[in-house]
Amino acid sequence: MTLGSGSQSESALLAYNKRKAQLERWRGSDTEKESIEIRSRPKRVKFADKCIFQAACASNDKGQVARMIKEGYDINAVDEDGITALHQACIEDNFDMVEFLLENGADVNISDNEGWTPLHAVATCCYVSIAKLLMEHGANVVALNNDCSIPLDICKSDEIRELFIQEINGKGIDLKDARRGEEVKMMDDAKRWLANGAVDENPHPVTGATAMHVAACKGYIKVLDLLIKAGANMNSQDFDGWTPLHAAAHWGQKEACEVLLEHMCDMGLRNNCDQTALDIADSSVVPLLEEWKKRHDVNKNIDTHNVGKQNLNNLNNNNNNAVTVPPKKKPAPRPTPDDDVTIVTSQLSQDKSPSNISNSISDEPCDQDEEMEVEEEQEQMVDVVDVDEAEDTLASSRPTPPPTCVAPEPISFAHPPPPLCPPVVVVLLLVALLPVAYRRLS
């Protein structure tokens, strides 16, 4: 090291000494004492094949691209946005790579997550030469994106617009029918599913979108109605967690949102970014979604209230149905044989006393048949005891129950009182036959 003279030499020497002191401190530090192998180990980063492939396309490395295709790499592989290598080459105006990819089997009409084909991309970028190349390889000049726009609708220059018009007129395409072509095809599929009683479809392999998502985001109302009637899942979620309502709300399809909401789709579902349909909705449909959210919240509160009320009723019913021991009541007195004698004798004393019975018998001598008739008459008189009067007598003899909240149940006299005891019958017969015996003896 050669140092100059003067002040510059002194400054350089000072810096040299300072750096020397720093190195000495470094050699004594813990970091310096660590294993050299650990510090010198290179970091390894493994890139996904799709990243390597698209990087090779972007750098126009046809050799690397050709090797990967030969090894079996999918030339139509997409990234998280649905972009393919062909999309990327069109956006970057890489004519050579676009031509190379098309010659090696790239799909000229493949669409990304927004429904954009490579021709949509060059239309908005105004790359006329690539647009011609794509159409030569069969690009659909009237392909619809998720906004229901064909490349002609989004082109930014008169030159490329004129190119598209010439292509459309040259093929005799009716733009009105072309714009409805996808809807008509989906309508036919929906009618077939409805007739078969089942929805037979496979979600999109890249996005996971279903026919419901497509119909919702593009506003195909008739298709949407048929799909719902056919039993399609209104709450199906694609690979990003979007439901058909997310799609309809994001692309401002107000009528599609109304159809889904009227059929009670779940507007509270969230996508992978924890967003509801209202969170990502276009401003034109925000008032509609907010109104439906208020209804949803009110109905949810009502349902919660009804559930709570039902639970309370169930609890009360369970309490009412529980087995409880009723309070003990003093049993009502039952009639005894003595009571029966009292009732019968009192009745006889009023209407059927022995004197009255004897007066009703003729003074003429009676034979054995007459005696039997008298006995039968006496038995009938005894049996024809007024049940109502017996009930009144028993009721008057029953003690008054203590006052309670619940009135005691009255004794039921649905059945006649028990039959008279045999001793009572014997006594009555003896009393009735005394006059007859007396007359015979006399």
Residue where one domain finishes, among candidates 173, 190, 219:
173
Q: Is 401 among the domain residues?
A: no
Q: Is 84 among the domain residues?
A: yes
Q: How far apart are CA 202 and CA 191, in angstroms?
A: 17
**What is the torsion angle, in degrees rounded to the nearest 10, for the CA atoms of residue 107, residue 110, residue 116 and residue 119?**
20
Residues 124, 195 within the same domain: no
Please tell me the number of Cα atoms within 13 Å of 426 on its side-chain side: 3
Q: Is 141 among the domain residues?
A: yes
Q: Is 155 among the domain residues?
A: yes
Q: How far apart are CA 420 and CA 390, in angstroms?
A: 13
Q: Is 373 among the domain residues?
A: no
Q: Is 81 among the domain residues?
A: yes
pLDDT computed for residue 6 by the predictor: 57
Residues 184, 281 within the same domain: yes
CB 123 within 8 A of CB 155: yes
Residues 89, 148 within the same domain: yes
Please report, as a single letter, which amino acid is at residue 339: D
pLDDT computed for residue 393 by the predictor: 53
Residues 153, 192 within the same domain: no
Total domains in the chain come to 2
Residues 193, 301 within the same domain: yes
Residue where one domain finishes, among candidates 256, 273, 305:
305
pLDDT computed for residue 206 by the predictor: 77
Q: Is 345 among the domain residues?
A: no
Q: How far apart are CA 174 and CA 169, in angstroms?
A: 9
pLDDT computed for residue 425 by the predictor: 64
184-188 long-range contacts, Cβ below 8 Å, gap at least 24? 186/211, 186/214, 186/215, 186/220, 186/223, 187/220, 187/222, 187/223, 187/226
Structure tokens at 188: 């036919």
Structure tokens at 336: 């005894």
Q: Is 336 among the domain residues?
A: no
Residues 167, 189 within the same domain: no
pLDDT computed for residue 22 by the predictor: 65
pLDDT computed for residue 290 by the predictor: 94
Residue 239 sits in a domain whose CATH number is 1.25.40.20
Q: What is the pLDDT of residues 184-204, one digit of tens each?
A: 889 999 999 999 988 888 888
For 117, the domain range is 49-173
Residues 185, 167 within the same domain: no
Regions of the chain with pLDDT less than 50? 1-4, 31-32, 36-40, 322-367, 374, 381-388, 390, 394, 404-408, 411-414
CB 282 within 8 A of CB 253: no
pLDDT computed for residue 118 by the predictor: 96
Residues 168, 184 within the same domain: no
Residues 111, 140 within the same domain: yes
Residues 213, 238 within the same domain: yes
Residue where one domain finishes, among candidates 155, 173, 191:
173
Residues 56, 157 within the same domain: yes
Residues 71, 57 within the same domain: yes
Q: For the whole model, what pTM was predicted?
A: 0.51
Structure tokens at 390: 């017996």
